[in-house]
Amino acid sequence: MLTRIDHIGIACHDLDATVEFYRSTYGFTDVHFEVNEEQGVREAMLKINDTGDGAASYLQLIQPIREDSPVAKWLAKNGEGVHHIAFGTDGDVQDEADGIAAKGVRVLYEAPRRGSMGSRINFLHPKDCHGVLTELVEKKA
């Protein structure tokens, strides 16, 4: 089951400047920085103010680190902005992806890849999701 919005992915040209915008404008201070070589991004996860129910949600700011990364291609075409939405799963991410694939939606990876903070991720093709690049996230236990 998809149980929450895990994060919204936002593509940017300057990660540090964009983090500073979210810090100074909204007061989001809980930031996790990471480089994901496979995805070709440097990223910051900003935790949305905690409600204490355990279901934290995040903004994922992503800046490309290579010209051939999907985010670099997207930025060149669209400029900065919302790049993807990520739903959290309550179980195995690949079971979820397989179930969605059976409904005729293209899943981008044959097996889950590594996402932020040790999560397991996969993506659904935006052209099969009414224009929204959709990520599935299974949080590290």
DSSP state at residue 128 = G
**Candidates 34-42, 50-58, 71-79, 80-88 — which segment interacts with Co ion by CB under 5 A?**
80-88
Instruction: Report which of 45, 50, 42 is spatially closest to residue 31, judged by C-alpha positions.
Output: 45
Dist. CA 15–CA 41, nearest whole Å: 10
Of the residues 39, 63, 83, 84, which is catalytic? 84
Tell me whether strands 134-138 and 81-89 are parallel, antiparallel or unpaired.
Answer: parallel
What residues line the site for ligand CMX (CB under 6 A)? Answer: 9, 36, 39, 41, 60, 62, 70-71, 73-74, 77, 83-84, 108, 115-116, 123, 126-127, 131, 133, 135
- Residue number of the CB atom closest to ligand CMX: 70
Dist. CA 98–CA 117, nearest whole Å: 23
Residue 28 vs 52, nearer CB to ligand CMX: 28
User: Which of ligand CMX, Co ion, none binds 93 (CB below 5-8 Å, type-dependent)?
Assistant: none
Dist. CA 90–CA 70, nearest whole Å: 27
User: Which of ligand CMX, Co ion, none binds 73 (CB below 5-8 Å, type-dependent)?
Assistant: ligand CMX
Q: Kindly report the CA angle at 136 between 28 and 99, in degrees rounded to 5?
A: 155
125 annotated active-site: no
67 annotated active-site: no
94 annotated active-site: no
Residue positions annotated with a catalytic role = 7, 43, 60, 84, 135
